[in-house]
Structure 1
């Protein structure tokens, strides 16, 4: 799965404030013309949109240009601009500007116009289209852990066909869909917005993008906040194996929470008991898929998705509880709501081109068998999610060492038990970006600032955005009170 995008909408609602029509007072010569967003983008009310052109290939800046779509929320008279990326890679940013701006505390609302964007290859910005790949995937999918070499080869054939389809439909784009080029695009946006420095908030993969920008453009990096941090010291291939045990630990927390709410879910009174029932249900679905739609593979995907934020836990626990009692309808619905996208061309494009991947499948097999011993619920799922990178038809980007040169210190925000971007990534980023400070929550949700309702986390970030001064020391925070134990009651009342 690597570092998927942050599902911000799970924990925050959209505000209704309108984008003002006045020009940006701090930059009268800015090269951005804001207007109403095209209806097909589905932008929240109060969002303005604009387009800029950037080179497809920065080695040929006067060559072919592509169009990037930006979104903005807040007042155009605001003195500052905060650029935001929600993660992915491959997540659209069109709705992110309004979501972030409407969630800002009062002291920041009037100071920032929030600008987000669809990165190159995504959504409204020259998207990577792999064509219709739905016919490649049977319904339901076979179990993630192959029972024999033939099953493994069938999954491998699907991965190869996906890579071929992406090359066939988007081959001219694929060599240029890289994080380094997205960082170059951000600097073009900064110039177009008329700003000397770029203030930036990135979640999940957005932390990799922000750190890349700060490394490549240290002189124009302003206040940089990286939330739920991707490890800069490992390749994207290695990131999956870093995620596997973290996901398994997070699942154990989920099982323990279900056990603590046995009066509601009736799946066991301890985490171990719930885990045992879960594995039995997993085996049952492998042999007899629910509604011929949800097998063990779909259950694994749904579990992995629910590990990102514990607000998803009641939905999944309730669905599995109903299935255990003989009603498969809620589980089929939950799988449709939470399951991962089969083929995300933009995400594959970034992941596969940003780093070198093993071309010999025996390496993948050996590493996954090893990982499966410690993370049996997730290892093979994670491998299949990125397996097309073994056959990708585009060169990898030249390597860049995050934090090298004159890269500035930044503010890092992290949850200790985040399974999508494990905590060691934040610790390694702090070492790479010398002088950086870390705000560490004891919780496990993916995405902290503004969306985990944790005042201890939010305050140092707000202070930094207001003053430009990093905390004098790292900050440690308790998990927010609305975490796991309170979720059942909160969702019961909703």
Structure 2
């Protein structure tokens, strides 16, 4: 699934309000000042969030031509001297709820310093969204097993992927060529200018690290303090990154099985990691042969496991759902499968993933590479491939190549968990090498999205200090992982 969504956990409310902000537009962006006011009800913004709109070019090669509208959101004090722009990940994630989550988790010193601003990137949510139409008829319920039993079953899944790509092109064809990370970086510079800031201070999670690194490469002179949390590999294409994730997800699943074994008195799934893995595989086989209520098959179970690998706080929920199913109570599994089915086709995410890089057009390569990956990562290799498979048939040109870190780029602060399965650690190491002089805050855990949301003071303190002072740590920082649930 080339999973790049960030985990921004629900947080306790902090009394913050945005009543309105007006900035004097810079000369380069005449008449484009931003005024935050009450959000439209249909945006579903958290209380205390202000919203605004900004026009940007659809096509930056014709900047005076057709414009599209970005929707921005902000939270924090209007008296704050600085602005922190935040991207929650994805690609394809809405930023409307992000400022309130971030502000509520900040230290008092950071809340005094920053108004937090996020936005729906182009093609997402309330910012000229990519529309793939009604895809419910394209995706069967339950899905066929991720690992095809034969060539016919594989071609059924290939056909679904082709149909999704065709539907997105039919409904959003003129928009798709312009939904790229490079264009979103250009949009961020327009946001910076409209906010009246000489430098962009930035916090990006997951895919947001790719966006931040792209901005710093394209606009090094206006890059301010840059925090990249849960870091995407800057050297891997979208196709390659899926195969990087496969073994990392498999390793993280092994940690989940070991954790469940320690909690056997509660969940009764096995007393060793291998025993829990056996229980899990038995369940996959059973659901593959006889899907639950004709809704939950082995593919849906695989999706649940992959989603749960982002954050160990979700492990008890999945373990309990399996325990209840084995005891005859099935509602938790069917409910979880239903929630995942709602996002079975994420058009905005596909638009970015498919247009940012070139993808193989010959399905024989996908088959050979996935078959090979499945020997090491049997739970996830085919799942990841099917998630990205529409890119083999995407109807939009790819963005021009950009070498992340090329040119006179500034050092940045990287934040990473050693066992993060969505953005594996080796990618963060490559990003650090791409931005000479950068520092890394490394947690020994595996949760995706560290700063502010993993309740780890060892991580939060150096990042907070950097955002307050602009001074990178003198050396990389290594942190212990917070305890897993129930430990």
Who is 1:48 aligned against?
50
Question: Residues 234-259 of structure 1: CA distance to partner in whole angstroms, max 9, x if unpaired?
Answer: 10100000000000000000011111
CA distance in 1, matches of 2:97, 2:200: 20
Question: Residues 14-72 of structure 1: CA distance to partner in whole angstroms, max 9, x if unpaired?
Answer: 43421144645999997101111100000000000000000000000001000000000
CA distance in 1, matches of 2:21, 2:420: 41
Who is 1:3 aligned against?
3
CA distance in 2, matches of 1:27, 1:103: 31
Who is 1:491 aligned against?
none
**Structure 1 residues 472 and 340: alpha-carbon distance in aligned structure 2, compared to 1, 3 A threshold:** farther
1:15 aligns with 2:14: yes
CA distance in 1, matches of 2:412, 2:7: 23
Q: Map of 1:67-466 to 2, 5 A cutoff?
A: 67-337=69-339, 341-466=343-468
Q: Secondary structure of the equivalent of 1:15?
A: coil
Contact 2:262 2:272 (C-alpha < 8 Å) held by counterparts: yes
TM-fit CA distance, 1:328: 1.7
**Structure 1 residues 424 and 340: alpha-carbon distance in aligned structure 2, compared to 1, 3 A threshold:** farther
Contact 1:3 1:87 (C-alpha < 8 Å) held by counterparts: no
TM-fit CA distance, 1:291: 1.5
Contact 1:306 1:338 (C-alpha < 8 Å) held by counterparts: no
CA distance in 2, matches of 1:171, 1:16: 43
CA distance in 2, matches of 1:480, 1:331: 28
CA distance in 2, matches of 1:371, 1:341: 25
CA distance in 2, matches of 1:27, 1:58: 19
Structure 2 gap ranges (5+): none
Contact 1:286 1:295 (C-alpha < 8 Å) held by counterparts: yes
TM-fit CA distance, 1:326: 2.4
TM-fit CA distance, 1:325: 2.0
Q: Secondary structure of the equivalent of 1:321?
A: helix
CA distance in 2, matches of 1:207, 1:471: 19
Contact 1:300 1:378 (C-alpha < 8 Å) held by counterparts: yes
Contact 1:414 1:423 (C-alpha < 8 Å) held by counterparts: yes
CA distance in 2, matches of 1:374, 1:340: 30
Count of aligned positions: 484
Contact 1:221 1:408 (C-alpha < 8 Å) held by counterparts: yes
TM-fit CA distance, 1:319: 0.4
CA distance in 2, matches of 1:26, 1:9: 34
CA distance in 1, matches of 2:399, 2:327: 51
TM-fit CA distance, 1:334: 2.7
CA distance in 2, matches of 1:23, 1:167: 38
TM-score normalised by length of structure 1: 0.96
CA distance in 1, matches of 2:20, 2:237: 44
CA distance in 1, matches of 2:87, 2:57: 20
CA distance in 2, matches of 1:174, 1:111: 38
CA distance in 2, matches of 1:448, 1:145: 32
CA distance in 2, matches of 1:13, 1:430: 33
Contact 2:405 2:435 (C-alpha < 8 Å) held by counterparts: yes
**Aligned-residue RMSD, C-alpha:** 1.6
Question: Residues 72-105 of structure 1: CA distance to partner in whole angstroms, max 9, x if unpaired?
Answer: 0011221000000000000000000111011110
CA distance in 2, matches of 1:336, 1:264: 26
Q: Secondary structure of the equivalent of 2:375?
A: helix
Contact 1:19 1:46 (C-alpha < 8 Å) held by counterparts: yes
CA distance in 2, matches of 1:26, 1:123: 26
CA distance in 2, matches of 1:340, 1:306: 17
CA distance in 2, matches of 1:395, 1:221: 28
Question: Residues 263-291 of structure 1: CA distance to partner in whole angstroms, max 9, x if unpaired?
Answer: 01001011100000100010000011111
Who is 2:61 aligned against?
59
TM-fit CA distance, 1:480: 1.4
TM-fit CA distance, 1:323: 1.2
CA distance in 2, matches of 1:472, 1:338: 43
Structure 1 gap ranges (5+): 487-494
